Amino acid sequence: MANPSTSARSGRRATAADGGPALPAWAGEVGWGSDVVLSTRARLARNLAGLPFPGHAGEDDLKTVAKQVLPVARHREKDYAPLRAVEIGKLGDGEKTALVDSHLISVQHAAAGPERWALVDDRHTVSVMVNEEDHLRLQAILPGFQLDAARKIADRLDDLFASHLTYAAHPKYGYLTASLSNCGTGMRLSVMAHLPGLTLSGRAEEALAAARTLGAAVRGPYGEHSAAAGDVYQISNAVSIGKSERSLSASLNAVVTYLLTEEQDARELLWRGRRSEIESLVSDAQGRLKEAERLSADEAMAILSSLRLGEHLGLGTGMTSRTFNGLLASLRIGTHLVAARNAQSIFYEETRRPALIRNKLREQRTLDL
């Protein structure tokens, strides 16, 4: 990780294999806990010295930031190929939603004004938001529960940019950020967790309250100000100031391990004591999917959640972790957030969702259509 007390350091210049899947790499099913944890993200907030933060910057200031940052993206690194620069303001609603659903940019970044950029690698493992709340939001996102691996990739990405840029930092307070909660290391670690067992057993509120007591922030899948959908939650460290990266990682690891264990226990108890209810829930979801001509974001998420729970309880729905993640990244679930005022875009996405889900399950011969 870059040292906040120094302005620059040497970055690595290793090459990475070109190409990658159409869907983001985190849509794969990898590692321990993948029945509950969909993905892991490590994000670093950074600002350039001598320039106002984006919330107080004029267009010329934002242009200066982009002019300094974009050339750095052309370098090759061990974990990723050169990053592709995308100007957010020139994208259509569908393209913005695709980036939001892949968790490469935030909803806020998609809605921002001029001189907002995203730097993305081919595998969608790393991305950089330029001129969001901070000048730089560097992130790595991996499938499953991989806190340390995601953190190390984000650190190497940080090293690259720190070797070419001068960060705003304070000897006592660490990296300076737009939000006080991000000062210090500037690191936000998070996982996306699927918790239908806790929801159905009535234990979700208690478990999530315990997670908050342990220092975690609990949000919907699209981060701040988003509501939980399809029993999917984003769990992250609440603050970074005054804590080291390792302590942040250890704390969140403990919280996620607790939630994972609670969810697995809840699923087992539901299967033992309420099996017929679970089978009915899954059957109902399959029935709604077969008949649906259109599905709102919430309706689609509810169906996906039920089918994924059924798959992990042995009902053979075909909604594996990989399939579920891939659909989350391709169904344009975020359209209602990115294009809230575009009724035509919302209607189009609602009418295409049922067929996309049905076709995916038909490929796996798990839906009789």
**Tens of pLDDT, residues 238-295:** 988 888 999 999 999 999 999 999 999 999 999 999 999 999 999 999 999 999 999 9
- For residues 206 and 195, is the Cβ–Cβ distance under 8 A? no
Report the 10 Å Cβ neighbour count for 272: 8
pLDDT, tens only, 100-136? 988 999 989 998 889 999 999 988 899 999 999 999 9
pLDDT, tens only, 210-243? 999 999 999 988 777 667 789 999 999 998 888 8
Angle in degrees, CA 24, 195, 304, rounded to 5: 55
Own/partner contacts of 294-297, CB < 8 Å, gap of 24 or more, are: 294/347, 294/350, 294/351, 294/353, 294/354, 295/350, 295/353, 295/354, 295/357, 296/336, 296/350, 297/229, 297/333, 297/334, 297/335, 297/336
0.85 surpassed by pTM: yes
- Distance, in Å, from the CA atom of 87 to the CA atom of 69, rounded to the nearest integer, reads 13
Q: Give the residue, 4 or 344, on which the prediction is more confident.
A: 344
Q: What is the structure's pLDDT at 5?
A: 44
Q: What is the structure's pLDDT at 3?
A: 55
- Mean confidence (pLDDT) of the chain: 88
CB contact set of 59 (below 8 Å; sequence gap of 6+): 113, 114, 115
CB contact set of 223 (below 8 Å; sequence gap of 6+): 106, 107, 234
* Widest Cα–Cα separation across the chain: 64
Q: What is the structure's pLDDT at 67?
A: 97
- Percentage of residues in the chain with pLDDT exceeding 90? 67
Residue 166 pLDDT exceeds 50: yes
Q: What is the structure's pLDDT at 21?
A: 40
Domain spans, the chain: 274-363
Count the helix, strand and coil residues of the chain and give each as a percent rounded to the nearest 5: 45, 15, 40
